[in-house]
Structure 1
Amino acid sequence: MSQDNDLRLQLATREKLRKFNSLRGREVQPGEFWDVVVVTAADESQREAYELQISGKVDRKELPLGTQYKVFSDPPGCKIGNGGSTLYVLQQLNQIYGKTLGGMRVIIIHAGGFSQRLPSASAMGKIFSAMPLGDPVYQMLDLKLAVYVDFPLQMKPGVLVTCSDHIELYSIGEDQSIRFDQPGFTALAHPSPLSIGTTHGVFVLDLNEKSTHSEIENISCLRFLHKVSIDQMRASGAVCKRQNGCFSPSEYEFVYTDSTYYADYDTMKSLLNLLKELGSLECEIDAYGDFLQALGPKATIDYTSNTANVTKEESSLVKTRQKIFHLLKGTPLNVILLNNSKFYHIGTTSEYLFHLTEDLVLRNELGLLSSAFSVYVNEGSEGSSQSCVMYSVVDPGCSVGAGSVVEYSRLRAGASVGKGSIVSSCWVSAGLSVPDRVFIHSLCVIHKNQTGFVTVVFGINEDLKRSFEVPANLEELKFCGVSLADCLSHWGMKNEVLFSGDASSASLWKACLFPVCSDPQSSFSASLEMLQAVLSGSTFTLPKDTTLMSMQEALQCKNLEEMLKFRQGLHEDITQRT
């Protein structure tokens, strides 16, 4: 992408942020913004957490007013995927608004799930992850709404479907607009390397319609592929070749990948009929793979039996997919090619650290700050421009290493954070040092009807989801690069560890390693000492009868009100001191 195109993208993005900032905290006019903003949640507990946070944002005038904000949780039982969530959201919207829904513009942001790849967001949700820009400071929800701020005015009644852990930046010509006014589905598409296409949805376009000379093109889609091999992309005609033009990608060969899509009101009604026909869902449905693969004149039913990308295959999956295919077959799939666009995924610890501390391109596009809504005395210290401090109070004499993120935390005088680490929702006592490349996060819990605190700590790139059959080989489970068996010896524990939840499997997510303490400072200190004992080869023994919790268990008994109260205390402190 040329420097001129980069500049166009940056200017277009800044203009969207300016527009959204002008809407925050004021009553919006009809058609000026979304009629309904829906955030999905995995269960009732997460729904409650999301509703409390949205209510707080509205009270603090961080969101446009006059819009209805709704949180809907998935029904109890088996996982239903974001496709199932979409169907249930439409059902609940229909029950609330009835025929009025036919005149409304709705955005659905899928945010259910427990964020095991970015565990700092597990308790409060990725959609409420802090982002270092804006006043009041942005969260991912604000950024999503800002990126799409132009859409409602150019959209016929219907629904826009998106996910909480990615953003799309794009520019279009002054005389152009992104219009969602066609029947059926309309999807945004981004030029991407073939390797990216293997992990995303890919559009097979009618290349006879394509010119490549414009920032934006409207084109019909012959077929949608979902997470297929490069050979399959070639065989299906999805691979495009670079041509001379202002907005040609740098790669000679590329594909157009998916991100967000719109469905008009009539299509919404078709999806509602689908849910009636299916009855209760008993399998995971993908809002992209299972809906969009049924569309386009060259769509085939073959994908319905391909379960390669399914986390857990239920017996009803193929039959459910076939019903979806037959119901949606023949529905148009329109594609808006955003030829000067970028897709950013911010859903893992490594992505979060990179985009917030190292990615100078995104920093320029969004105007990201090294310190956002924080009391941070040492901003001029070495490495601070490569670190990120958000919504935190950092006392004098503290240091934050390059490539590290500190969010929603208090660091007392002389505390330090190493390189490439995440410190989230912590109270760090004076003089303590967080090592390089660790993730450390404090949660408030209710244990035996009392308030307690648990601080979890892991290596920054450890796979918390990787599971082993029980009895687990503790040599295979690694904690900060050291076998769990060796860790237990450093902590003076017997060579066994309890795992929460389903007794048939063991993982770091379920390992009961972290002490429950009476206050956040002692909780942080205890877990940090356990970590330092492992890294230094020394011994640290917890007091007898100390209760140990896993990350999974801490989330199940989290004290949401106290965690929000901690953030509110930070908000008041920062507001008074800045």
Structure 2
Amino acid sequence: MAAGERSAARREATGRRLARFAALRGKAARPGEFWDVVAVTAADAEQALAYRRQLAEKLSRKELPLGARYHVFVDPPGPKIGNGGSTLHVLQCLEELYGDKWTSFLVLLIHSGGYSQRLPHASALGKIFTALPFGDPIYQMLELKLAMYIDFPSHMKPGILITCSDDIELYSTGVTETVTFDKPGFTALAHPSDLTVGTTHGVFVLDPSSFSGKGGLEYTCCHHFLHKPDIETMRRCGAVCVRGNCSQLSSSGDRSDSEVDSECVYTDSLFYIDHSIAKQLLTFYKQMGALCCEIDAYGDFLQALGPGATQDYMKNASNITKEESQLVEVRQKLYSLLKGTTLNVIVLNNSKFYHIGTTQEYLFHFTSDSKLKFELGLLSVAFSLFSDKAETLDQSASIIQSILEPGCFIAPGSVIEYSRIGPEVSVGKSSIISGSYINLKVDIPSNCFLTSLSIKINDQVKYVSMVFSVEDDLKKTVRLLSDVHLLQFFGVSLLECLDLWGVKVSDQLFSSENTRLGLWTARIFPICSTLSESVRMSLKMLNSVQHMSAFKLNGFQLLSVEEMLTYKDVEDMLKFRKQIYDEIHLQRQKEKSDL
């Protein structure tokens, strides 16, 4: 099957799943037809509150299937425990809520406990609630996850399916083929990927005699799981195959260029554990007591599985945010617990794994002529109002639940979501505008990232807008104040920017107490009394940097992004979104009645 045919098959299969999910929205599913529990993880109490509020609103609007128990489980206070630690904690929460009954449940566990530093417009309300450019009302990542997994519950034994909140798996199988999770131990989905993709994912070393790499779906076992390996390691361990003929393993240096182009590895996405394994992991968690280190659900669970598993990864902390003294001990105990456990693999030969966890990935998939846009049926204008009198809207722009007034201009490759854009606003190329009200005459530059938050301080609702370049690294940190010049804001040294804004470099500049000095923790954004004023002030800051002209922030109370999230007012942000929703809905009803 040619690449175009494979993509068309995925589009058709995806459309069928979306239709099945749409038919279930607002209705009670039959027993075994849908999940018993849908669990979403949150990093802290504030994030959990935001998630519960949004879930409640979705249920009241009948945007989700009814009957399932929807839960938000917050990580325990203290050190970060990673998605592996969160998984263990959720198992304990389920047992506390349901006793032994939980072992008969079909559970979907979605990890969404991060702060989205690489996709900051999702930081306040969560990556799992990221809006997508299709649906009426708009689909968010949560609905898409539920839709893409709609076939799984009816072909699954009780257990837990574990996934992340910022990836999308699209696949097509043969008419008689089903994805079935019914084997003891672990079962993971595998997707054919380029070798470079394998370096940032988990890679399965499969027995070439047990599968062909042809057709839609195959069941096999994993000999050895590699976590974010380099290409040399993939080759040495026998993970590299020739696409479409995986009984022929590829070795370095002995293939023609055309054959090298067709090389692939099989990479991970979601995985399933049966309740026997879940109980073992829960017992382990209880014995450990409080975790003081980050555990990766993929790296630290899956690397212990299969007959070829070794302890080589024990002391590798390259993929851990902070190396903890407890990490090696926890890994050794997990290895002892899980060693010898089978890692079953469902090879989806016609599948694609899409990640939208960064601003660059987000813009590419939503605005370019991407495969995801074709296969998922993404729209240029989704549930929005824009006048025919507005400047011609380029097909590569993406407008999501927004109101664009006549006269505004949106350049190609930009995304506008949950915003109201005034008549004298021009938005440059490849920009992201989220949750904002822009009603002034302004030319927003290309590659601009702008998102507004409602905050509550001393019981008063205020507003702050953060503005960056879509290419700024919000995760980059320095340890010393003297190194602030190494940080960059819109391609300019932060030290120069601070000088233009009249902000002094001092111990008060950053909100973090533990030497994490970066754009995320820099107190540079002014608190304002209205949403539109906060946008105006932040755009003036940006303008001063672009033209190297002073714009003093004296007299303003300044917040960092970190603090904005601490003070966020979820109710007010959702109220703004609902006002836009109601106006669009009312206009659509009026248009229908006029026909």
Query: What is the TM-score when the length of structure 2 is the normalising length?
Result: 0.94
Which residue does the alignment assign to 2:173?
A: 172
Residue type of the partner of 1:475? H
- State yes or no: 1:465 paired with 2:466: no
Does the residue aligned with 2:283 lie in a helix, a strand or coil? helix
In the TM superposition, what whole-angstrom CA distance separates every residue of 1:483-530 from its partner, at most 9, and x where no partner exists?
222223332444657111225231011111111000001110011111
Equivalent of 2:338 in 290, 304, 328: 328
In the TM superposition, what whole-angstrom CA distance separates every residue of 1:238-277 from its partner, at most 9, and x where no partner exists?
11123559xx999432111000000111111111111122
Residue type of the partner of 2:352? K
Moved more, 513-522 or 99-108: 99-108
Equivalent of 2:350 in 311, 319, 340: 340
Equivalent of 1:540 in 536, 551, 556: 551
Which residue does the alignment assign to 1:359?
A: 369
Which residue does the alignment assign to 2:254?
A: none
2:424 and 2:199 map into 1 onto residues whose CA distance is 47
Is the CA contact (8 Å cut-off) linking 1:107 and 1:160 kept in structure 2?
A: yes
Residue type of the partner of 1:423? I
Residue type of the partner of 1:17? L
Which residue does the alignment assign to 2:151?
A: 150
1:257 and 1:82 map into 2 onto residues whose CA distance is 18
Residue type of the partner of 1:558? K
**Structure 1 residue 360, shift from structure 2 partner:** 3.4
After superposition, the Cα gap between the structure-2 partners of 1:131 and 1:515, relative to the gap in structure 1 and judged at 3 Å, is: same
2:461 and 2:66 map into 1 onto residues whose CA distance is 35
- State yes or no: 1:87 paired with 2:88: yes
In the TM superposition, what whole-angstrom CA distance separates every residue of 1:140-176 from its partner, at most 9, and x where no partner exists?
1111111111000110100000000001100000010
Which residue does the alignment assign to 1:528?
A: 539
Is the CA contact (8 Å cut-off) linking 1:224 and 1:292 kept in structure 2?
A: yes
RMSD: 1.7
Residue type of the partner of 2:17? K
- State yes or no: 1:301 paired with 2:302: no
Which residue does the alignment assign to 1:511?
A: 522
2:318 and 2:500 map into 1 onto residues whose CA distance is 41
Matches within 5 A, 1:86-235: 86-235=87-236
In the TM superposition, what whole-angstrom CA distance separates every residue of 1:425-456 from its partner, at most 9, and x where no partner exists?
10101433211111011111123442211111
Does the residue aligned with 1:86 lie in a helix, a strand or coil? helix
- State yes or no: 1:396 paired with 2:406: yes
- State yes or no: 1:502 paired with 2:513: yes
1:95 and 1:129 map into 2 onto residues whose CA distance is 30
**For structure 2, which runs of at least 5 residues remain unmatched after alignment?**
250-258, 589-595
Does the residue aligned with 2:12 lie in a helix, a strand or coil? helix
Is the CA contact (8 Å cut-off) linking 2:155 and 2:179 kept in structure 1?
A: yes
1:231 and 1:530 map into 2 onto residues whose CA distance is 47
**For structure 1, which runs of at least 5 residues remain unmatched after alignment?**
none
Which residue does the alignment assign to 2:14?
A: 13
Which residue does the alignment assign to 1:29?
A: 30
**Structure 1 residue 76, shift from structure 2 partner:** 0.1
Equivalent of 1:268 in 278, 281, 294: 278
In the TM superposition, what whole-angstrom CA distance separates every residue of 1:71-96 from its partner, at most 9, and x where no partner exists?
00100000000000000001111111
After superposition, the Cα gap between the structure-2 partners of 1:541 and 1:243, relative to the gap in structure 1 and judged at 3 Å, is: closer
2:16 and 2:431 map into 1 onto residues whose CA distance is 32
Residue type of the partner of 2:546? L
2:370 and 2:92 map into 1 onto residues whose CA distance is 43
1:14 and 1:577 map into 2 onto residues whose CA distance is 28
| Count of paired positions | 575
Residue type of the partner of 1:264? D
Identity percentage over the alignment?
Answer: 51
2:302 and 2:116 map into 1 onto residues whose CA distance is 25
1:135 and 1:251 map into 2 onto residues whose CA distance is 41
Is the CA contact (8 Å cut-off) linking 1:378 and 1:399 kept in structure 2?
A: no
After superposition, the Cα gap between the structure-2 partners of 1:528 and 1:328, relative to the gap in structure 1 and judged at 3 Å, is: same
Is the CA contact (8 Å cut-off) linking 1:238 and 1:255 kept in structure 2?
A: yes
Is the CA contact (8 Å cut-off) linking 2:433 and 2:451 kept in structure 1?
A: yes
Is the CA contact (8 Å cut-off) linking 2:391 and 2:406 kept in structure 1?
A: no
- State yes or no: 1:405 paired with 2:406: no
Is the CA contact (8 Å cut-off) linking 2:398 and 2:416 kept in structure 1?
A: yes
**Structure 1 residue 392, shift from structure 2 partner:** 1.1
1:317 and 1:503 map into 2 onto residues whose CA distance is 21
After superposition, the Cα gap between the structure-2 partners of 1:233 and 1:458, relative to the gap in structure 1 and judged at 3 Å, is: same
Is the CA contact (8 Å cut-off) linking 2:389 and 2:407 kept in structure 1?
A: no
Which residue does the alignment assign to 2:51?
A: 50
In the TM superposition, what whole-angstrom CA distance separates every residue of 1:263-301 from its partner, at most 9, and x where no partner exists?
111111111111122111111000001001111111112
**Structure 1 residue 379, shift from structure 2 partner:** 9.0
Matches within 5 A, 1:451-462: 451-462=461-472
